[in-house]
């Protein structure tokens, strides 16, 4: 059933008197003068409890990695798509329709100055406080947000160039999703063996088109080249599973793309990100794998970089752009212990 009322918003609060630390809010309640993480969840999170699960994970990532930040100074907002249960194909058009309220009543006001006038610098400063964190269908919603928000900025009177500059102040951190270039800055974590998204974006294409420029050991590069020359996708999947690698395969001004292989759980699920959990004491969550633990830490480092840049921008009248190359260096250091492990003798498998 379609609901025309727009999204429902929840905020994670540090208040023991609030049940489950989750508070339903209006979009106008969000304090956009401070760093704000907005979580667009997967299609399985269609009620408050499920949304809260995502927000708790984000909160744990901040508490674990962002030691010099006070989590109380960061808005952690979850989006309920305000749609009844259904499959991905049914949910997306409903959620996209409901997203127009988010554009009109949240993004557009941030795109103008206090008097409602066009102001590129002010819009950039406002939007640099916003970080999207998305999973699966959430990334699909942000894809349409990108399209419709760009159209709205052009209607307001911004040029194509300035609209893109404004939109690039928002960073989307996405996992369990496909890679599609947007005007928003993106840090996308792509699983090489994720059947849910592999048909739409196969990460090996990007991996091998840029293999010589990717930060990895000489042994890793030689083995990957060998597998690529053999055109053996099964061996490639085995390589990432057995060697637990996380590579940055694209790193430019607007895009930071990671490639890894998603460990399959005991139900054969190779899409869910539940394994990428981290506890507040910087230990693995109960069901986490080693690669999941480091992916979670990598996401934490990306959140940290975005939030720190937001705070820096609050201290100056000028715009300090978010540098994805710096974020890439930060995240690469986090996953380095995985990538430094000796290669497994997987190459004999199946022979």
DSSP for 112-164, please give it: B-TTS-B-HHHHHHHHTTEEEEEETHHHHHHHHHHHHHHHHHHHHT--HHHHH
Whole-angstrom distance, CA of residue 184 vs CA of residue 51: 23
Give the whole-number percent of the chain exceeding pLDDT 90.
44
Residue 351 lies in a domain: no
Find the helix or strand (DSSP H, E) in which 260 lies: strand 255-260
**How large a percentage of the chain has pLDDT more than 70?**
82
Q: How confident is the model at residue 42 (pLDDT cuts 50, 70, 90)?
A: confident
Cβ neighbours of residue 316 closer than 8 Å, sequence gap 6 or more: none
Which among 229, 245, 252, 294 has a CA at the least distance from the CA of 237?
245
Per-residue tokens: 178: 């496909």
Residues found in the chain: 351
- For the chain, what is the domain count? 1
- Give the β-pairing of 247-251 and 255-260: antiparallel
Residue 2 has pLDDT above 50, yes or no: no
Q: What is the tens place of the pLDDT at every residue in 71-128?
A: 888 999 999 888 776 666 777 888 888 889 999 999 999 999 999 999 999 999 999 9
Model confidence at 305, in pLDDT bands (50, 70, 90)? Answer: very high
Both tokens of 159, joined, read 């040029």
What's residue 208's pLDDT? Answer: 76
CB 41 within 8 Å of CB 54: yes
Total-model pTM: 0.90
d(CA 13, CA 11): 6
Nearest residue to 263 (alpha-carbon basis) of 178, 169, 341, 193: 193
Contact 297, 333 (CB under 8 A): no
Q: Which contacts of 222-230 are long-range, i.e. CB under 8 A and separated by 24 or more positions?
A: 223/343, 223/347, 226/347, 227/347, 228/204
Q: What is the mean pLDDT of the chain?
A: 84
Candidate from 17-26, 177-186, 265-274, 289-298 with smallest mean pLDDT = 265-274
Least confident of 24-33, 161-170, 311-320, 335-344: 335-344
CB 44, CB 10: distance < 8 Å = no
Two structure tokens written together for 99: 């997203």
Q: 64-68, 92-96, 130-134: which has the highest mean pLDDT?
A: 130-134
- For 268, half-sphere exposure in the C-beta direction (CA atoms, 13 angstrom radius) is 1
What is the model's pLDDT at position 274?
47
Residue 38 domain-assigned (yes or no): yes
Going by C-alpha positions, the residue among 323, 306, 332 that lies closest to residue 133 is 306
Residue 48 resides in a domain: yes
Q: Which residues contact 46 (CB under 8 A, 6 or more apart)?
A: 80, 81, 83, 84, 85, 91
Please report whether residue 3 resides in a domain: no
Q: Is residue 281's pLDDT more than 70? A: no
Q: Is the pLDDT of residue 263 over 90?
A: no
**pLDDT band for position 203 (cuts 50, 70, 90):** low
194: confidence class by pLDDT, cuts 50, 70, 90? low
* Of 339 and 84, more confident: 339
Tell me how far apart the alpha carbons of residues 51 and 44 are, in angstroms, rounded to a whole number.
9
With respect to residue 310, please indicate whether it lies within any of the assigned structural domains: yes
Q: Mean pLDDT over residues 155-162, rounded?
A: 98
Confidence of residue 348 (pLDDT cuts 50, 70, 90): very low
pLDDT at 91: 78
Q: Is the residue at 350 inside a domain? A: no
Q: What is the pLDDT of residue 116?
A: 96
- Taking 3-state DSSP, the helix, strand and coil percentages for the chain, each rounded to the nearest 5, stand at 50, 15, 35
What pLDDT score was predicted for residue 345? 63
Which residues, 6 or more positions from 74, have their beta carbon under 8 angstroms from its beta carbon?
34, 35, 36, 37, 62, 307
Q: Which domain holds residue 220?
A: 8-344
Least confident of 263-272, 289-298, 308-317: 263-272
Rounded to whole angstroms, how far apart are CA atoms 324 and 273?
23
Given pLDDT bands bounded at 50, 70 and 90, which one contains residue 197?
low
What pLDDT, on a 0 to 100 scale, did the predictor assign at position 76?
97
pLDDT for 35 equals: 96
Residue 64 — pLDDT band, cuts 50, 70, 90? Answer: confident
Q: Tell me if 174 sits within 8 A of 189, measured CB to CB.
A: yes
């Amino acid at each position: 059933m379609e609901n025309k009322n727009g999204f429902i918003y929840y905020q994670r609060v540090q208040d023991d008197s609030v049940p489950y630390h989750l508070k339903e809010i209006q979009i106008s309640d969000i304090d956009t003068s401070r760093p704000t993480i907005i979580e667009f969840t997967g299609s399985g999170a269609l009620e408050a409890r499920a949304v809260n699960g995502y927000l708790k994970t984000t909160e744990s990532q901040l508490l674990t990695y962002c030691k010099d930040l006070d989590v109380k100074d960061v808005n952690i907002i979850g989006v309920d798509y305000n749609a009844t249960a259904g499959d991905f194909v049914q949910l997306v058009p409903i959620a996209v329709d409901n997203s127009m309220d988010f554009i009109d009543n949240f993004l557009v006001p941030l795109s103008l100055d206090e008097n409602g006038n066009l102001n590129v610098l002010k819009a950039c400063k406002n939007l640099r406080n916003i970080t999207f964190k998305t999973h699966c269908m959430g990334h699909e919603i942000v894809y349409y947000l990108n399209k419709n928000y760009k159209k709205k900025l052009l209607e307001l009177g911004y040029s194509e160039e300035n609209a893109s500059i404004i939109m690039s102040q928002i960073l989307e951190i996405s996992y369990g999703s496909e890679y599609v270039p947007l005007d928003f800055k993106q840090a996308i974590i792509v699983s090489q063996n994720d059947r849910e998204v592999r048909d739409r974006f196969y990460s090996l294409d990007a991996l091998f088109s840029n293999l010589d420029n990717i930060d990895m050991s000489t042994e890793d590069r030689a083995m990957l080249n060998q597998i690529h020359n053999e055109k053996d996708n099964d061996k490639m999947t085995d390589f990432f599973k057995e060697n637990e690698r996380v590579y940055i395969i694209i790193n430019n001004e607007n895009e930071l793309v990671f490639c890894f292989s998603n460990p399959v759980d005991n139900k054969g699920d190779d899409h869910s990100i539940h394994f990428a959990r981290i506890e507040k004491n910087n230990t693995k969550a109960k069901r986490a794998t080693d690669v999941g633990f480091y992916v979670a830490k990598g996401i934490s480092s990306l959140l940290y970089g975005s939030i720190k840049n937001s705070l820096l921008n609050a201290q100056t009248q000028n715009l300090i752009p978010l540098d994805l190359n710096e974020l890439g260096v930060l995240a690469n250091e986090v996953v380095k212990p995985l990538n430094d492990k000796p290669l497994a003798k997987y190459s004999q498998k199946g022979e």
